[in-house]
Amino acid sequence: MIPTLEWLPAGVNFLDQTKLPLEETYVLATDYKQVATVIRDMIVRGAPAIGVSAAMGVAIGIDRSTAATLVELTAEVDVICKTLAETRPTAVNLFWGIDEIRNLYNEMVAAGAAIPEIKAAVVAKSRKMYDEDIDACKQMGRNGAALLPQTGTVLTHCNAGALATCGYGTALGVIRAAVEDGHTIDVFADETRPFLQGARLTAWELMKDNIPTTVLCDNMAASLMRQGRIQAVIVGSDRIAANGDVANKIGTYGVAILAKEHGIPFYVAAPWSTVDMATANGDLIPIEQRSAREVTHSNGKQMTPDGVGIENPAFDVTPAKYVTAIITELGVLRAPYEESIKQMAEQKTLATV
């Protein structure tokens, strides 16, 4: 399994995804500010991995605090959570991860727990979330494997694999599970400009698993779909609205339209923590705008004229009408999504009561 992130006695250790595929190096974050930098700079990326990283960031901030009283510690926790929440706005898992630790902290304070007890509990909780993410991805894979062709080629956009999670992956987890079940699958990986997550990351980790992979420029999918060379599309997500609209890496919307036009199923794989019941539709999802330099430069070399205008939204929103099914660890959702998502939310609530 690819070690995307790991809690160590010295801190949280992250595989530096900005250096892949040519260099496998790690960045050790020893405090919450360093975790925030790792998330902001995309050393770690992918909604599920960001969620667990944020949880570990809050936990390490609490664990390493020198506050002598709960009043002082609570004031620090406010700053810790705010700092991490300001890193990347689109992935709802970020806020889920922060809230999981913050809520546990608040419950323990209300119950009169001592500071050492609180520190041990939040660290244990964040480490448990790591294990739960891997389990959720594997269950997602089992839930979605049968949807992929027994033999054929699957297109994916960006990286929704082990590198985007704590291990195994969401969209790539479904592909892995299908291969483990005996499917013969080739993968087309969109390069995913401008950060090249498909070319650098998806291709790297699928090759490690010996799954046949071909990298495509982002503008090649339509031609290959027309030739009948793509049998399914599967992607991850950073936020799913209550009506089934899906935010994912920029370019996903165009791929979904192409799939619809060519009669190709378009699947989304994401943990339930990516579903945001508080966001009614995709128009309300905040879209992160990233540095112009990601577009103007490639491998340190300038590719555009000085002074030219640059747009660099990190995500777009695919309306629910283009989504064939949403695969989660709790089951597979289908249209009408407002109803199926609401029913799944109610079932999860009942299961936790």
Task: Report, as an integer, the average pLDDT of 249-266.
Answer: 98
pLDDT digits (tens, 9 = 90+) for 131-141: 999 999 999 99
Task: Answer yes or no: do 173 and 313 share one domain.
Answer: yes
What is the per-residue pLDDT for 121?
98
pLDDT digits (tens, 9 = 90+) for 35-84: 999 999 999 999 999 999 999 999 999 999 999 999 999 999 999 999 99
Task: Answer yes or no: do 167 and 113 share one domain.
Answer: no
What is the per-residue pLDDT for 245?
98
Give the active site residues: 238
Q: With 0-12 CB in 10 A as exposed, 13-18 as middle and 19+ as buried, what is 313?
A: exposed
98 pLDDT tier (thresholds 50, 70, 90): very high
SS (H, E, C) the chain: CCCCEEEECCEEEEECCCCCCCCCCEEEECCHHHHHHHHHCCCCCCHHHHHHHHHHHHHHHHHCCCCCCHHHHHHHHHHHHHHHHCCCCCCHHHHHHHHHHHHHHHHHHHCCCCHHHHHHHHHHHHHHHHHHHHHHHHHHHHHHHHHCCCEEEEEECCCCEHHHCCCCECHHHHHHHHHHCCCEEEEEEECCCCCCHHHHHHHHHHHHCCCCEEEECCCCHHHHHHCCCCCEEEECCCEEECCCCEEEECCHHHHHHHHHHCCCCEEEECCHHHEECCCCCHHHCCCCECCCHHHHEECCEECCCCCCCCCCECEEEECHHHCCEEEECCEEECCCHHHHHHHHHHHHHHHHC
Tokens at residue 153, please?
A: 């080629």
With vertex at residue 266, the alpha carbon angle to CA 143 and CA 199, rounded to the nearest 5 degrees, is: 95
Task: Answer yes or no: do 298 and 332 share one domain.
Answer: yes
pLDDT surpasses 80 at 352: no
Contact indicator for 91, 238 with CB cutoff of 8 Å: yes
Domain that holds residue 38: 5-139
pLDDT surpasses 70 at 353: no
Task: Answer yes or no: do 177 and 104 share one domain.
Answer: no
Task: Answer yes or no: do 107 and 184 share one domain.
Answer: no
Sign of CA dihedral 19, 162, 160, 11: negative
With CA atoms as reference, report the closest residue to 174 among 257, 96, 266, 42: 266
Cα Rg of the chain, angstroms: 20
Residue at which a domain ends, from 87, 120, 139: 139
Task: Answer yes or no: do 93 and 158 share one domain.
Answer: no
pLDDT surpasses 90 at 328: yes
108 pLDDT tier (thresholds 50, 70, 90): very high
pLDDT digits (tens, 9 = 90+) for 4-39: 999 999 999 999 999 999 999 999 999 999 999 999
Task: Answer yes or no: do 97 and 170 share one domain.
Answer: no
Contact indicator for 335, 308 with CB cutoff of 8 Å: no
With CA atoms as reference, report the closest residue to 17 among 174, 189, 140, 198: 198
What is the per-residue pLDDT for 136?
97
- Return all residues near 290 (Cβ < 8 A) that are at least 6 apart: 312, 313, 314
The Cα 258–Cα 225 span in angstroms is: 8
What is the per-residue pLDDT for 3?
84
The Cα 181–Cα 109 span in angstroms is: 47
299 pLDDT tier (thresholds 50, 70, 90): confident
Task: Answer yes or no: do 34 and 155 share one domain.
Answer: no
Task: Answer yes or no: do 213 and 302 share one domain.
Answer: yes
pLDDT surpasses 70 at 242: yes
Task: Answer yes or no: do 76 and 88 share one domain.
Answer: yes
Task: Report, as an integer, the average pLDDT of 274-299.
Answer: 96
Task: Report, as an integer, the average pLDDT of 142-159.
Answer: 98
Residue at which a domain ends, from 139, 154, 173: 139
Task: Answer yes or no: do 307 and 291 share one domain.
Answer: yes
CATH code (residue 50)? 1.20.120.420
pLDDT digits (tens, 9 = 90+) for 185-201: 999 999 999 999 999 99
Residue at which a domain ends, from 139, 160, 184: 139
The Cα 143–Cα 145 span in angstroms is: 6
How many structural domains is the chain composed of? 2
CATH code (residue 315)? 3.40.50.10470
CB atoms within 10 A of CB 252: 27
Tokens at residue 79, please?
A: 């700053």
Task: Answer yes or no: do 147 and 278 share one domain.
Answer: yes
Task: Report, as an integer, the average pLDDT of 249-265.
Answer: 98
